Amino acid sequence: MTSLQHVNPRVSGIRVSAHSTLQSLAAHITQQIMTGAQKPFKEVLDVSSGDPHKTGMKPISFVRQVLAVCLYPQLLKDNSLPLDVRLRAQRLLEICDGQSVGAYSATSGLLHVRQSIAEFIMRRDDGVPSYAEDIFISSGSQRALMVVIKLLDKGGETQTGVLTPVPSPHHLPIILDETGVTPAPYQLIEDQGWAVHLEELHRALTAARRRCEPRAVYISNPGNPTGHVQDRKSIEEVIRFAAAERLLLLVDEVQQDSVHGHSREFISYKKVLFEMGKQYSDTVELVSFHSLSNACMGECGQRAGYMEVVNMDPEVMLFADTVLCADISTPVIGQLALDLMVDPPKPGDPSWDTHTQEILLIRTTLSQNAQRAQQFFNSLPGMSGQSVMGGIYLYPRLHLPSEITEQAKVLEVEADVLYSRRLLEEEGVLIGAGGTTDSYHLRFCILVPPHTLEEVLARISSFHLRLWADIRTLTEV
């Protein structure tokens, strides 16, 4: 019997996700290996969540060099570092109280960094206005999302609801559960590449109003974990829907730098909103999220992100700034990393060539890994997947035989979670699972070094083909 067969899904009233349970088992197996236990593998390979540096992807040199100087200002005198690195570090230190990253900052973030973010947004959106006072720096985009959802909850007998996609990021149900807000699920359309459909949004809204008061709709673009990238027409439909139903738009755009499909480009919701005219740009409430955990930076451990709010009531803005921002106060070093993300080296700077080459390598690796893994999963029996346009995940579908689904029922776990657990125990690969109600899927992070990807695919192939062979033998008997 494994440690996961009788896990209580709630501990002290807090829901424990399948993802967290699998991570705990992975940590337990890793500890066993470190203490000398014999396993058929030397280490656990984690491709369950978007943590590129954990898997061996290299950080951006310019970012780490500037942060190193900010942490240890004596390096300002080190002529072996590029001049633009030292100048940038000096400028960033000057915006910190006491010229030290050890000093507190405003809870909503350093004004200089917020202004840099606003300028980045304006460049990205071809001049659509953006203002520092509308930007809140947070300790990760998830924390910012939690603050906004807290703002939505009015209390009282009628529960607040948020329309949420199925499948969704694995952290979203946990955030809603923690804040006491009711999820109102809408199904993404799998056979159309996990597209958002207007009819399904209306259906979900009507169903939700029977049990709660829906006040927002959550969108992930590029899709996490589906890899779908919305086109302009789809974005316009969602905006019109939110306007007609007076819903706040919560848009996760963290993976905006990772569009690798040939038929798509990233277009921000804000850009489309402002190009639809004042009927929408002056009325639709929008909060968009971005963070250091995106594909090219991959600085998940720095725990920094931001949200930009559009058309939010000034009194609500004040409440967020004076009361709730205490929940999202961000370490200064993460804020400085955000500044480096939105304002990278420019042509002619000493760090330009190296920075450009490193970004190109990350994007090329992501694109090639997506193609390689997509072909692999579609070649396995009992597995298929939609082509991805962006993001850092694949989300292949498992067509599991009844032997597996019946065993899962006995163990009181979802069948895809059982598959992932056995894969982890037998081959040392941690892969995400679940996220839908009527089918089985895996969540696979493809932003890993190519040699790591090949090792992971080899282990999955060994497990999957062995599992299918065992089932075929049982069927024949």
Which region, left, alpha or beta, applies to residue 434 given φ > 0 means left and ψ of -120 to 50 means alpha?
Answer: left
Q: Which is nearest to 290 in space by CA: 448, 162, 96, 135?
A: 135
The tally of domains found in the chain comes to 2
Residue 386 domain flag: yes
Give the range of the structural domain holding residue 406, as residue numbers without chain letter.
10-39+363-476
Residue 108 domain flag: yes
Task: Say whether both 115 and 220 belong to one domain.
Answer: yes
Which residues have CB under 8 Å from 56's CB, separation 6+? 448, 449, 452
Stretches in the chain below the pLDDT threshold 50: 1-15, 477
Task: Say whether both 256 and 305 belong to one domain.
Answer: yes
Q: Tell how strand 286-291 and strand 248-252 pair up.
A: parallel
pLDDT tens string 332-377: 999 999 999 999 999 999 999 999 999 999 999 999 999 999 999 9
Tokens matching residue 2: 């494994």
Task: Say whether both 334 and 260 belong to one domain.
Answer: yes
Which residues have CB under 8 Å from 223's CB, separation 6+? 165, 188, 194, 229, 390, 391
Given this model, what pLDDT does residue 15 score?
Answer: 40
DSSP β-bridge partners for residue 291: 305
Given this model, what pLDDT does residue 9 score?
Answer: 38
Task: Say whether both 299 and 426 belong to one domain.
Answer: no
Q: Report the residue count for the chain.
A: 477
Residue 449 preceded by cis peptide, ω within 30: no
Task: Say whether both 271 and 137 belong to one domain.
Answer: yes
Given this model, what pLDDT does residue 476 score?
Answer: 56
Residue 65 domain flag: no
pTM of the model: 0.92
What number of H helices and E strands is found in the chain? 16, 16
Angle, vertex CA 431, rays to CA 425 and CA 435, nearest 5: 120
Tokens matching residue 50: 């978007």
Contact 430, 51 (CB under 8 A): no
Task: Say whether both 21 and 93 belong to one domain.
Answer: no
Residue 272 domain flag: yes
Which residues have CB under 8 Å from 226's CB, separation 6+? 167, 188, 193, 194, 220, 386, 388, 391, 393, 395
Residue 306 domain flag: yes
Q: Tell how strand 45-46 and strand 429-430 pair up.
A: parallel
Which residues have CB under 8 Å from 156's CB, separation 6+? none
Given this model, what pLDDT does residue 306 score?
Answer: 94
Alpha carbon of 12 to those of 8, 16, 19, 412: distances in Å?
10, 10, 18, 20
Phi, psi of 308 (to 5 degrees): -110, 130
The CATH number assigned to the domain holding 432 equals 3.90.1150.10
Task: Say whether both 261 and 113 belong to one domain.
Answer: yes
pLDDT tens string 253-279: 999 999 987 778 999 999 999 999 999
Contact 192, 250 (CB under 8 A): no
3-state secondary structure of 150: helix
CA distance 190 to 182: 24
Residue 102 domain flag: yes
Q: Please name the amino acid found at residue 342.
A: V
Task: Say whether both 239 and 326 belong to one domain.
Answer: yes
Task: Say whether both 337 and 367 belong to one domain.
Answer: no
Q: Please name the amino acid found at residue 377.
A: F
The CATH number assigned to the domain holding 217 equals 3.40.640.10
Residue 406 domain flag: yes
Given this model, what pLDDT does residue 327 score?
Answer: 59
Instruction: Write the DSSP symbol of residue 301.
Output: G
Residue 347 domain flag: no
Task: Say whether both 152 and 230 belong to one domain.
Answer: yes
